[in-house]
Amino acid sequence: MTTASLTENIIYNETKPAVTLILKTQTTKEVRIVFKKGQLMKEHKAPFPIIVEIFEGLIEFGVNGEKLILKKGALIALDANVPHDLNGLEDSIVRLTVSINDQVQRVKNVA
């Protein structure tokens, strides 16, 4: 058994979203991304399918030429190699589920 928290030990970066690996399983990595209002993750692609959960806050999520406003509790699943971007419309906590084969450093590089 492994436990983790999305809300403990949060540290906001002043200039870009803060990316932290919070849990690793046999098949996935759970990543916390914390946004201050106005922070962006530029358009990027993941090499494997992902799931994004808005745990707290409000995110503008760009995908397939569309801008979605995702609020607390929203989930979105994307197939591999789908371009997307995120914009923190308010201070937000995002949970990102990636494949065990994906690299957290790749996510940090996008932030």
Whole-number pLDDT of residue 95? 98
Burial of 89 (0-12, 13-18, 19+ CB in 10 A): middle
pLDDT level of residue 8 (50, 70, 90 thresholds) = very high
Distance (Å, whole) CA 34 – CA 11: 8
Which of 35, 55, 47, 59 is CA-nearest to residue 98? 47
Under 8 Å between Cβ of 75 and 46 = no
Average pLDDT of the chain is 96
Residue 4 within a domain: no
Residue 7 within a domain: no
pLDDT level of residue 4 (50, 70, 90 thresholds) = very high
Phi, psi of 27 (to 5 degrees): -120, -20
Bridging pattern class, strands 92-99 and 40-44: unpaired
pLDDT in tens, 23-61: 999 999 999 999 999 999 999 999 999 999 999 999 999
Residue 9 within a domain: no
Domain membership of residue 52 as a residue range: 18-110
Number of domains in the chain: 1
Whole-number pLDDT of residue 36? 97
Whole-number pLDDT of residue 38? 97
**Percent of the chain's residues with pLDDT above 70:** 100
Whole-number pLDDT of residue 82? 98
Output the domain CATH number for residue 58: 2.60.120.10
Bridging pattern class, strands 84-88 and 40-44: antiparallel
Whole-number pLDDT of residue 57? 98
